[in-house]
């Protein structure tokens, strides 16, 4: 298949330009917030181990923190609120909502990742088929409405996307989810910067590199 890569050639320069200022660091998450937080035009997405799920990572997440401890989540939320005033988003699961939501400011909202294809667990009825996204701020204030009769540019507060399989990491998010998070924060391509606090398999970086992002892209 000598021509297999031909279709990628024209896309490589644009992707390289978009990732020119991307840096990958392996350091404790809260330390990175100390270094990069409070910068102008910076948004953040955090997808830490969910409360009570340390066992899925052999209880040794690279950041060295215990995510079975609610205090760890409290520290993270405090830093998101204090150091990312332009906007932040945090993934969690439904069992932890009753714990995490009271830790958030009154301005936080809840989005829903609905999973048409999901995992059934023995003895669990009904099945867990959605996950919350806690988000706050972003470019959602004073957003101009579309032209009369034009396509809506306001994202829905839910996205339907199947879970990923065989990606090598528990909790890996699908591409449609990552694009939706960007839209929920009103990410402006070429102007904003997004900090991906727990990059995992780099799905968010792929979403940023795929194509220029515009308001309302995930609303269809």
Q: Determine the pLDDT at residue 115.
A: 94
Segment 203-215 mean pLDDT:
74
**DSSP symbol at 17:** H
pLDDT band at residue 98 under the 50/70/90 scheme: very high
Q: Global pTM?
A: 0.80
CATH topology of domain 24-140+152-210: Rossmann fold (3.40.50)
Backbone conformation region of residue 9, classed left if phi is above 0, alpha if psi is from -120 to 50, else beta: alpha
Q: How far apart are CA 100 and CA 24, in angstroms?
A: 28
Q: Average pLDDT, whole number, for the chain?
A: 82
Q: Which spans in 22-95 are helix H?
A: 29-36, 70-83
> Quick check: 74 pLDDT over 70?
yes
Do β-strands 87-91 and 109-114 pair in parallel, antiparallel, or remain unpaired? Answer: unpaired
H/E element holding 179?
Answer: helix 175-184
pLDDT band at residue 211 under the 50/70/90 scheme: low
Segment 50-75 mean pLDDT:
81
Q: What are phi and psi of 164, to 5 degrees?
A: -95, 150
């Amino acid at each position: 298949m000598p021509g297999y890569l031909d279709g990628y050639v024209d896309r490589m320069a644009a992707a390289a330009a978009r990732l020119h200022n991307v840096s990958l660091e392996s350091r404790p998450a809260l330390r990175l917030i100390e270094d990069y937080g409070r910068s102008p035009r910076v948004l953040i997405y955090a997808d830490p181990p969910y409360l009570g799920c340390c066992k899925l990572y052999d209880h040794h997440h690279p950041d060295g923190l215990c995510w079975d401890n609610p205090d760890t989540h409290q520290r993270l939320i405090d830093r998101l609120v204090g150091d990312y005033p332009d906007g932040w988003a945090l993934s969690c699961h439904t069992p932890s909502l009753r714990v995490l939501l009271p830790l958030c400011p009154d301005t936080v909202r809840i989005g829903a990742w609905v999973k048409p294809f999901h995992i059934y667990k023995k003895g669990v009825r009904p099945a867990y088929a959605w996950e919350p996204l806690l988000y706050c701020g972003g470019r959602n204030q004073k957003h101009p409405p579309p032209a009369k009769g034009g396509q809506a540019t306001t994202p829905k507060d839910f996205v339907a996307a199947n879970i990923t399989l065989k990606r090598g990491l528990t909790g890996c998010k699908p591409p449609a989810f990552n694009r939706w998070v960007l839209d929920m924060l009103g990410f402006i391509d070429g102007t904003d910067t997004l900090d991906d606090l727990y990059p995992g398999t780099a799905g968010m970086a792929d979403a940023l590199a795929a194509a220029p992002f515009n308001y309302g892209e995930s609303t269809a």
